[in-house]
Homo-oligomer: A and B are copies of this chain.
Amino acid sequence: MILSEFQTLLKKHKIEAYLVTRRNMFLTEDILPEENKIMEFTGFTGSAANLLVFQDKAVLFTDGRYEIQAKLETNPQQVKVECVKASDFFPWLNANCQNRKLKIHFNPWCWSAREYAAHSTDSSPAEFIADKKNLLGGLLSNNPVHVFPHEIEFCGIGSTEKISQIAKHLQSKNLKAYLFTAADSVSWLFNLRSNALPDTPVLRAYALVKDDGETTLFAENTDYENAVAFSQLPSYLKKFKKQNLGLDLRTTPQQIISFLSDDAYTHSADPVSAEKAIKNPIELQGIKNAHLRDAAAMCGFLCWLNDNWQGKTELDIVAKLRSFREKQSLFFSDSFPTIAGFGSNGAIVHYQPKPHTNLELKAGSMLLLDSGAQYFDGTTDITRTMAIGTPSADMVQDFTTVLKCHIALASAYFPEKTSGNALDAICRRNLWQQGKNYNHGTGHGVGCFLNVHEGPQNLSSGASYYPLQPNMVNSIEPGYYKENHYGIRIENLVYVDRVSDPNNDIPMLKFEYLTLVPIDKRLIDKYLLDDGEKIWLNSYHQTVYNKISPLVDDKVKNWLKDACSPI
């Protein structure tokens, strides 16, 4: 369907406006291209967007990161681009809708109950009406999906035990049952994965778990024998009453609420979300192992790049890096589309090389390379920025500052119960002192052979309070982006560990690194590092050499020895 056809539909049904979200019924950014109605209607490929379609126009809301891209990708005669936080379209409505309540239809599968409630207050400039005719068409791709178990040697705890814990949790909360609507929670709870998405092995399913441990898994187009069709949901949900069904309004589509009587459910935070963030010992060991292999692949690639960058393009880099990873055992897929940004492309935070943007590497700049893989035993996510030829003095100074930011947070101790958002300024401080900043988060949680972005913890100041706890896995990824010139980012995954020091007044936590790949010394001005920072870097590189050199061939080992030598 093209935009004008959808607008014809709106006219036919006398609908003045329709909110199109970039979502399916799982309410995350992870969707297939054929599920992306915003891309279908406007051509916009960014990951954060809402589209308001009127009979004679359309307004695309996306945030500042995507401003340039959105204007390039869309037709200005059809689509007006508004750069705000994508979900923050009320000010535009207030300014453009002449003081009357606009009637906006929406697909109730593609908006959470929490979002619907937040937008439906008395002071809202619009009235939101669930589209019962499903004018937008299919929600989930019809591709056949293969479901497979996440084996116990990797997941560590059987699904029977996990479900039994959830049943106890429900009993303690006086709930008869819980409806899990977050796909990664269901995948973790049942130790199931699938090939539905290219970079995330999540099984897109809902699950109903009762307080006696009985479970029902809802999914479609899969080869999983015990799955029940989504169309059966109403019959399963209608029997609940007196708030004895728990669900998380943040991940539950508004459509589900319409299947329930008013007093049937109560909001209760998804108990799997908190649990799976804290990796169990088997998961953590698997994640460490995955990072050793991923580092071996990265080091092989970096050694190759060192000798072979001339004449190569960003897309060559993406393919070559993938070939190194594919050779590693337990490799499943990339964990997200590789960002390989050379020179000025590196300054575009969410850049992915396309044939028409693909730059050839030339001496005198830097390559920003953000990539990761899904291994059966863990998920990786790493950014390195490499000198190509001789870098400028500005590049070296900015890279060194970003490194200081990275080290400041990576080496920080912090008290128990500290929230990730409270640590953000420790990371940014060195850039701030130079009047610089970066316009993205400082770090995110990471799943185990699951989503590369996972909550509930977060290292960004905009996030809400959630305490960091031992065995949580996070990224630390400060950066600096000089528009039209270059981009720098240094990202390691780390896990939270206890500080064991009997002299401490109070129990403290720290980060231990998982990622073990050299940081490009050609971009470091060692005279800008203090003693503590030099010690951190040399110690990190010593560990990298000790752990990775046994895993690579002699040529790579020689390169690694040089890359890891002390400054």
Contact = CB atoms under 8 A, between A and B. Distances in A.
Interface stretch (A317-325, A362-370, A432-440): A432-440
Contacts of A437: 415, 505-506
Contacts of A433: 412-413
Contacts of A506: 435-437
A501 interface: yes
Given A414-B425, A422-B425, A432 B530 contact: no
Interface string A405-445: 00010001111001101111110010011111100000000
Interface in A219-269: none
A508 interface: yes
A122 to B, nearest CB: 9
Given A422-B461, A424-B422, A461-B422, A412 B435 contact: no
A425 B408 CA distance: 11
The count of identical subunits is 2
A505 B436 contact: yes
A270 to B, nearest CB: 19
Contact of A435 (B418, B423, B436, B505): B505
A435 B530 contact: no
Contacts of A424: 422, 425
A423 to B, nearest CB: 5
Contacts of A421: 422
A421 B422 CA distance: 8
A461 B426 CA distance: 13
A476 B419 CA distance: 21
A428 to B, nearest CB: 8
Given A422-B424, A426-B425, A414 B432 contact: yes
Contacts of A434: 504
A135 interface: no
Nearest to A415: B437
B412 A429 contact: yes
A366 B418 CA distance: 31
A36 to B, nearest CB: 32
Given A422-B461, A423-B425, A503 B435 contact: yes
B422 A508 contact: no
Nearest to A435: B504
A423 B504 CA distance: 23
A437 B530 CA distance: 24
A471 B82 CA distance: 33
Contacts of A136: none
A499 interface: yes
Interface in A455-477: 461
Given A437-B505, A437-B506, A429 B432 contact: no
A373 B429 CA distance: 33
A150 B423 CA distance: 42
A506 B432 CA distance: 9
Most buried by B among A414, A415, A432, A499: A432
A289 to B, nearest CB: 31
B412 A508 contact: no
Interface of A: 408, 412-415, 418-419, 421-426, 429, 432-437, 461, 499, 501, 503-506, 508, 530
Q: Which 5 A-B pairs have the closest CB atoms?
A: A435-B504, A422-B461, A413-B432, A425-B426, A435-B508
